[in-house]
Structure 1
Amino acid sequence: MNLFFKYSILLLVLFAHVSASYAQEIGEKYEREEKIKQEEFPKPALKLIKPILKKGKRTRYFKDHEAETYFFEVKTIYKDEKISIKFYKDGSLLDIEILKEFNELPEEIQEQIQQYFQTNYKKHNLNRIQIQYNREKEYEDGELEIDEDKEYVEEFLELDLEDLVIKYEIEAEVVSEDNERGFFEFLFGAEGKMEQIKKIIIRADDNVLY
């Protein structure tokens, strides 16, 4: 086997390894929203968010189908904020999000996010931006401590940011340097650093019903 042939094989192996790693970094998001009636929503979930539902306006209920599973979601306008609350199949709480315009985000976060897209893509268009409020997870005496659903909702209602983990979820259409176009969901951490990318395979309609 000559040196050129060995070198070619090595390059192919390295390229395959890099491509596989890159594919692992970018997950896939299958999504389809199905509007449902309140009666079809898990009763424990409705009971949990009763304070929000009492004051919510234009409330809508959905079943979100994602790959081989599904979630329940409520979208409502609460205190002039467009919020969505997502639940697992059993009615336990997943996360709470508020729909925002890009210019409503903190300036330093805007700068970090813009810098990321300008550095990594030829073109980009931010379609939908949500602030995600997650419950804090911490270890105490070697055991993982996570707030109960009720406590999580109370912290959100009070916007007790010390006990909530903020992330920024952005759906964007991007064009790579190779002129490849696609829709992706980007998740940025509290400091504006990119944490996760998912390629949107079946894109949810933009007509978010609030």
Structure 2
Amino acid sequence: MVIFGYFYVKTSLLFLFAKYSIGVLLLLANVTLFAQDKIEVERTVSSSQVPSAARAWLHETYSQTPRLRWYLEKSSGETSYEAKLRHRGAWHSVEFGEDGVLQDIEIIVRMRDLPKAAHQGIVAYLDTTYIKHRIRKIQQQLTGSPEVVRAVVQGEPAEEVTYRYEIEFYGKNRQSKALWEGLFDGQGQLQERKRIILRPTDNLLY
């Protein structure tokens, strides 16, 4: 009876340990998943609140664009400044770090305007991942040195600039439906995906 009791207690402890370990792993998995959520807070600011380096770069790059709005953005624990303006018939969002250094430019485009490879890759991802989907917004993202990005904005070709595509879309599969932000490379391959946290007043109508 003593031996039987010993094995019973040992087995029970092993079972509890295994159960606890699985619970911890599931918790860590959930934390990792939720870390991919995008919670963004944005508010307008005056130009005087923006780093001078950002204002100087923008003025030199968009010298013929007098009207713009500045925003302070907080997302994923990071702070940035964003200028939104219309340039040559398209909406540009120009993002700077807290130090005023250019991070990227995002230009709103249409699906039919994407390069063939990017278009096909993005469509293939959406069709194979979701039962239903609807694109909300597409932005062409330009990254590179501030000087090279300026040249592209001003109409000069530059091979050193990296082009990506940031897409906001509603996606529905068997588990859930949500609003997503996907970042795709120039070939339409998914690089990063974040779930956008909606306000209580937002609806997923699709």
Q: Tell me if both proteins adopt one fold, taking TM over 0.5 as the criterion.
A: yes
Tell me the residue number matched to 1:42.
51
| Shift, 1:158, TM fit | 3.5
Pairs within 5 Å for 1:63-142: 63-135=72-144
Partner amino acid for 2:126? F
Greater CA drift, 48-57 or 189-198: 48-57
Aligned residue for 1:170? Answer: 167
**Conserved 8 A contact 2:148-2:161:** no
User: Whose strand proportion is higher, 1 or 2?
Assistant: 1
1:129–1:170: 8 Å Cα contact kept in structure 2? yes
Q: Give 1:99's aligned amino acid.
A: I
- The match for 1:139 is none
Superposition deviation, residue 72 in structure 1: 0.2
Partner residue of 1:198 out of 168, 172, 194: 194
Under a length normalisation based on structure 1, what TM-score does the superposition of the two structures give?
0.75
After superposition, the CA RMSD in angstroms is 3.2
- Identity of counterpart residues, as a percentage? 24
Summarize deviations over 1:80-116 as a string: whole Å, max 9, x none.
Answer: 2211110001111110111112122123322221110
Contact in 2 for aligned 1:127/1:173 (Cα 8 Å):
yes
Q: Which has the larger radius of gyration?
A: 2
- Match for 2:192: what amino acid? Q
Shift of 1:25: 9.9
Question: Could you give the per-residue CA deviations for residues 135-179 of structure 1, whole angstroms, max 9, x where no partner exists?
Answer: 1xxxxxxxxxxx3x334423443443411110000011111222x
Q: What SS does the aligned partner of 1:117 have?
A: helix
* Structure 1 segments of 4+ aligned residues over 6 angstroms from their partners: none
User: What amino acid is aligned across from residue 170 of structure 1 in structure 2?
Assistant: I
8 A contact 1:55–1:79 mirrored in 2: no
**Unpaired segments of 5 or more residues in structure 2?**
1-7
Q: How many residues align?
A: 186
| Alpha-carbon contact 2:148-2:158 (below 8 Å) kept | no
d(CA) in 2 for partners of 1:202, 1:113:
23
SS in structure 2 opposite 1:162? Answer: coil
Q: Which has the higher contact order (CA 8 A, sep 6+)?
A: 1
